[in-house]
């Protein structure tokens, strides 16, 4: 495991060094880390397809409610959610016909995830992503330096996500493609639940009026 962590660390450094010369890469090692962290978390928790649909809530011809369009962390997370949802109906050879490892989300988490209040749903999603990313970091047994490099890389993607949210808020993509269309749950929010979760931050909510 330590050898794998060292290899991943070297890949992060190389990716960072080459990015300026080669341009953006949708499948860089940081995006892959987020993808695998979320996918592993989904399997270990045994999240139901019903819950996946709730997290990936969207209206026809609209972006996802809980994700920011063009945010790299949100994109990698969506990849993992869609991959998990497309898993085989059951594991080959198991009499239990199980298709995942865990027993599902706790009742209080599901209640929050299905709240009519989008803020509550985002808090639940933030909590899930925080736990999944932290779990994979612990499993990789990174050194302090390796952990710092990884979190710095994720933080850069978080900043990209915040810039994307701000651009929609300013209607830089046209008057018909603001936050209401690009990320409906974020109309009154300045930070991304998924991005914050990936760097271990709680969801920042507006002060009660």
Nearest to 189 by CA among 45, 13, 32, 67: 67
Q: According to the model, what pLDDT value does residue 205 have?
A: 85
Residue 87 burial (C-beta neighbours within 10 Å; 0-12, 13-18, 19+): middle
Tens place of pLDDT per residue across the chain (209 aa): 555 455 454 444 444 433 433 445 568 999 999 999 999 999 999 999 999 999 999 977 678 999 999 999 999 999 999 999 999 999 998 888 899 999 999 999 999 999 999 999 999 999 999 999 999 999 999 999 999 999 999 999 999 999 999 999 887 777 778 888 889 999 999 999 999 999 999 988 887 76
Neighbours of 208 (CB within 10 A): 4
Domain ranges of the chain: 2-198
> Cβ distance 41 to 136 under 8 Å?
yes
> Cβ distance 47 to 84 under 8 Å?
yes
The pTM assigned to this predicted structure is: 0.85
**192 CB-side CA count, 13 A:** 32
> Cβ distance 28 to 15 under 8 Å?
yes
């Amino acid at each position: 495991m330590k050898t794998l962590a060292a290899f991943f660390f070297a890949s992060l450094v190389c990716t960072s060094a080459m990015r300026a010369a080669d341009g953006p890469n949708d499948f860089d090692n940081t995006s892959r880390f987020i993808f695998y962290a979320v996918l592993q978390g989904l399997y270990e928790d045994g999240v139901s397809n019903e819950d996946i649909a709730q997290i990936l809530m969207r209206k026809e011809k609209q972006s996802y409610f809980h994700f920011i369009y063009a945010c790299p962390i949100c994109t990698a997370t969506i990849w993992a959610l869609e991959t998990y949802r497309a898993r085989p109906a059951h594991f080959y050879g198991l009499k239990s016909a199980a298709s995942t490892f865990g027993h599902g989300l706790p009742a209080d988490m599901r209640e929050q995830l299905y709240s009519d209040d989008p803020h509550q749903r985002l808090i639940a999603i933030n909590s899930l992503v925080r736990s999944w990313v932290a779990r994979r970091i612990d499993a990789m047994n990174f050194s302090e330096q390796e952990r710092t490099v990884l979190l710095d890389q994720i933080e850069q993607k978080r900043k990209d996500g915040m810039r994307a949210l701000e651009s929609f808020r300013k209607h830089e993509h046209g008057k018909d493609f603001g936050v209401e269309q690009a990320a409906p749950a974020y109309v009154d929010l300045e930070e991304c639940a998924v991005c914050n979760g990936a760097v271990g931050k709680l969801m920042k909510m507006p002060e009660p009026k």
